[in-house]
Amino acid sequence: MPAHDRRGPVFFHCPLYRGFCKRSPPLSLRGIPAARDYAQSIVDTVREPLVVLDGDLTVISASQSFYRHFGVAKERTVGRRLYELNNRRWDIPRLRGLLETVLSRDTSFEDVAVEDEFPVIGHRKMLLNARPIAGKAGQTRLILLAMQDATGGPPTE
């Protein structure tokens, strides 16, 4: 059912809402698809695995290097909480606490070491960096989480 305003039904095409319309989208939504595509292109260009998390630590997006490095599919990653990924290998209480601090105190962390046996790639030592992503007041806070494999050898397969 379409939304209505004083002029009648509101229909517009916006990939975010997957709708079609009779009128142009509001100014506040016109740049969203382009901005999202631009940001995803930057994330995909970086060599290190990256994930973007929302306030519930749910993966909003991830880089192609994340999918390659950990041998996971986008369909099994996006929309899932970080601590559910890779057979719950990211369910690390210390990491969860640090990420919640990033959100609540608008802080960051660098070079936090995580060492574990990961499905597909085996035993790895990862260095993690996290920063809040700036947004408008009142928006859900996001976190950019970067990972560097510091094991010293190629992933085992």
Do 34 and 108 lie in one domain? The reply is: no
In a domain, 100, yes or no: yes
Do 102 and 124 lie in one domain? The reply is: yes
Contact (CB, 8 A) for 103 and 143 = yes
Do 119 and 63 lie in one domain? The reply is: yes
In a domain, 60, yes or no: yes
Do 98 and 156 lie in one domain? The reply is: yes
Phi-psi region of 108 (alpha: psi -120 to 50; beta: other; left: phi over 0): beta
Note the pLDDT tens digit of each residue in 12-58. 444 444 444 444 444 444 455 666 666 667 766 778 899 999 989 99
pLDDT tens, per residue, the chain with 157 residues: 445 455 555 444 444 444 444 444 444 444 556 666 666 677 667 788 999 999 899 999 999 999 988 888 999 999 999 999 888 888 888 899 999 999 888 889 999 998 877 777 778 888 999 999 876 665 668 899 999 988 875 554 4
Q: 64: domain range? A: 46-157
Task: Give the global pTM.
Answer: 0.70
Q: What are phi and psi of 58, to 5 degrees?
A: -90, 140
In a domain, 87, yes or no: yes
Do 67 and 118 lie in one domain? The reply is: yes
Do 28 and 87 lie in one domain? The reply is: no
Number of domains in the chain: 2
Do 75 and 130 lie in one domain? The reply is: yes
